[in-house]
Amino acid sequence: MTTLLIKNAKLQDQEGLKQILIENGQFSRILDNDAQINHQGDILDAEGGIAVTPFCEPHIHLDTTQTAGEPNWNISGTLFEGIERWAERKELLSIEDVKSRAKQTLKWQIANGVQHVRTHVDVSDPTLVALRAMVEVREEMKEWVDIQIVAFPQEGILSYPNGKELLEEAVKIGADVIGAIPHFEFTREYGVESLHYVFELARKYDCLIDVHCDEIDDEQSRFVETLAALAHKFEMGEKVTASHTTAMGSYNGAYASRLFRLLKMSGINFVANPLVNIHLQGRFDDYPKRRGVTRVKEMLAANINVCFGHDDVFDPWYPLGTANMLQVLHMGLHVTQVMGYDQINNSLDLISKNSARTLNIQDNFGIEEGKPGSLLILPADNGFDAVRRQVPVQYSIRHGKVIAETQPAKTKINLDQTEDINFKR
């Protein structure tokens, strides 16, 4: 029997230090630090850091990652030039190319405490090469990270030749989640029809749904209401996600108020991608420029499930990134003005607990006796401290095994005397 005892750990919103025992890959006991416990296995000292649930990446494109500047850089930084640059790079795709790049970014994610990933994979391709590659990656990396694959019709379902057939074939090959992009279809009618087809397919194959929805500054792009209405009709809300919904930031107050009633009734999930949304949206605006991020603050207030994702890492649409979820969270809190103390202190939920609900894995997620023994140790006093100082993941533990560790940097200044600086007051 493999066991790991973690001592001197804090749990968010609980007093005192705790010890956490993991046996056979599951949390078996969580006790006060001074409680007696019979343990013969490995011991890990959390050194007073906080134990939190693993980070989840609810929205990333691993088929495009690590391609920034290949063969050319996106000089304008716009969505449209990104599409042009990707068209050039797409000609070079192969199974090994996609696998190599995806695994590299997955390793970055693992190093940053991510243990659950939902990746959107372009299936507007008769060969489905990227999808086939990601199915192999999912199997080869499953010991260290759980991967959900979204069949993402980048060019549309009705607006791309054989779009319906390719989407269904992607599910047969191994996609876990069915995607759509209704605002990119040729007409509004095509967009609505594409959503009806996605629900038909999801019910046929018992799949989750994750739609690139209203990722545009057009305040008349309102496909999220159709998505929510269908989710409500078929009682599938917890299995349905609306990604981006950037147009929602431009809706008038009267419409938004009516819409939120439907969103709550439907129970669907939302993903905002603050790094990329703030970068790509508002490009047609003069001043004032819109922020281009959905209504996260209002969703939180309404108890609608919302979380943060990367969208892109080091690719033609977003040339930066190291797959660090705390960077995503930091940007997201700023641009959505979720900056109260309690909001920041609890904000790790936006990259963990809320994301787990979006991925529909919440029943096997959390630091509770009987659940999978996976957690992170952050060298911080609480969630607020972790976000403010952007601390590294000191230990990432998966099913009782340490799969990643980072020693916090030590900084000294030499003024009148040498002094250690830890950026605490």
Calpha distance 43→46 (Å, rounded)? 10
> 135 with 102: CB under 8 angstroms?
no
DSSP for 133-160?
HHHHHHHHTTTT-EEEEEEE-TT-SSSS
Calpha distance 197→348 (Å, rounded)? 35
Amino acid identity, position 407:
Q
Residue 215, CA distances (Å) to 159, 236, 246, 286 in order = 17, 22, 5, 19
Domains of the chain, start order = 3-53+366-412 (2.30.40.10), 55-364 (3.20.20.140)
If you count DSSP H runs as helices and E runs as strands, how many of each does the chain have, helices first?
Answer: 13, 18
Residue 149, CA distances (Å) to 99, 168, 277, 359 in order = 14, 14, 22, 11
Structure tokens at 300: 């939180």
Amino acid identity, position 1:
M
pLDDT of residue 1: 58
Radius of gyration of the chain (CA): 22
In terms of DSSP bridges, do strands 208-213 and 240-244 run parallel, antiparallel, or are they unpaired? parallel
pLDDT of residue 39: 87
Amino acid identity, position 284:
F
57 is catalytic: no
pLDDT of residue 113: 99
Calpha distance 284→306 (Å, rounded)? 27
pLDDT values of the chain reduced to their tens digit, one per residue, 425 residues: 579 999 999 998 899 999 999 999 999 999 999 999 988 899 999 999 999 999 999 999 999 999 999 999 999 999 889 989 998 999 899 999 999 999 999 999 999 999 999 999 999 999 999 999 999 999 999 999 999 999 999 999 999 999 999 999 999 999 999 999 999 999 999 999 999 999 999 999 999 999 999 999 999 999 999 999 999 999 999 999 999 999 999 999 999 999 999 999 999 999 999 999 999 999 999 999 999 999 999 999 999 999 999 999 999 999 999 999 999 999 999 999 999 999 999 999 999 999 999 999 999 999 999 999 999 999 999 999 999 999 999 999 999 999 999 999 999 999 999 999 999 99
Which residue(s) pair with 10 in the sheet? Answer: 50
Q: Does 182 sit behind a cis peptide bond, omega within 30 degrees of 0 on the bond before it?
A: no
Catalytic residue among 168, 185, 215, 419: 215
Residue 166, CA distances (Å) to 125, 314, 338 in order = 8, 27, 40
pLDDT of residue 263: 99
The candidate with the shortest Cα–Cα distance to 153, out of 189, 116, 190, 117, is 190
